[in-house]
Chains A and B, each alone.
Chain A
Amino acid sequence: ETGVTQTPRHLVMGMTNKKSLKCEQHLGHNAMYWYKQSAKKPLELMFVYNFKEQTENNSVPSRFSPECPNSSHLFLHLHTLQPEDSALYLCASSQDYRREQYFGPGTRLTVT
């Protein structure tokens, strides 16, 4: 595997379900990010981890819970989501904050 991988690629869940998104980067980067991408809106930064430590949480609802067990893996735990949470969730990594980010293919999430 190369670059940034994400699983699953597609996810349909009910509002009462609990699921997790997984991201893995094979680039030796130190920073990892979760973004939400909705139609006609700019990418929304959700969480940032630097050397496994969470450094940013942009007022994200508590129904989204990130986890970073090591510098190569990032998870986004989901529970009791709302239909408006349906979107493309992107994971990215970079060498540090000031450098370009490399994105995974995303998980298309649909909340029913």
Chain B
Amino acid sequence: EDQVTQSPEALRLQEGESSSLNCSYTVSGLRGLFWYRQDPGKGPEFLFTLYSAGEEKEKERLKATLTKKESFLHITAPKPEDSATYLCAVQAGTGANNLFFGTGTRLTVIP
């Protein structure tokens, strides 16, 4: 069964305290892995796409990496404005129905 699991469910960090969020997946035929950021009361905002193991993408304080079983979103020296829920989604196969979302990690960065 295709599945995406994100951990931890919630994470509280002090400003400047680096950490990583995890997205593990069991799907047949990974076509792509997506990271999104969602602020309260808003729709998800696209961050990164990763297509193959070993690939890395960076944007400001965020860096996403991908292995054959999981992806990490590394947050370096986070700021309060990085507080949000981070969602991971995995595209398996070619159909539009084959996109699986995790339940997200709610990140809070304390000043």
Contacts and interface: CB of A to CB of B under 8 A. Distances in A.
Chain B contact residues: helix, strand, loop or mixed: strand
A90 to B, nearest CB: 5
Interface string A45-63: 1001010000110100000
Contacts of A50: 96
Nearest to A33: B96
Contact of A45 (B41, B49, B99): B99
Contacts of B96: 31, 33, 45, 48, 50, 55-56, 97
Most buried by B among A31, A40, A101, A104: A101
Most buried by A among B31, B99, B100, B102: B99
B13 to A, nearest CB: 22
A10 B83 CA distance: 24
Contacts of A40: 103
Contact of A103 (B4, B32, B45, B95): B45
Interface residues of B, number: 24
Interface residues of A, number: 28
Nearest to B43: A103
Contacts of A92: 43
Interface of B: 4, 31-32, 34, 36, 41-46, 49, 87, 89, 91, 94-97, 99-103
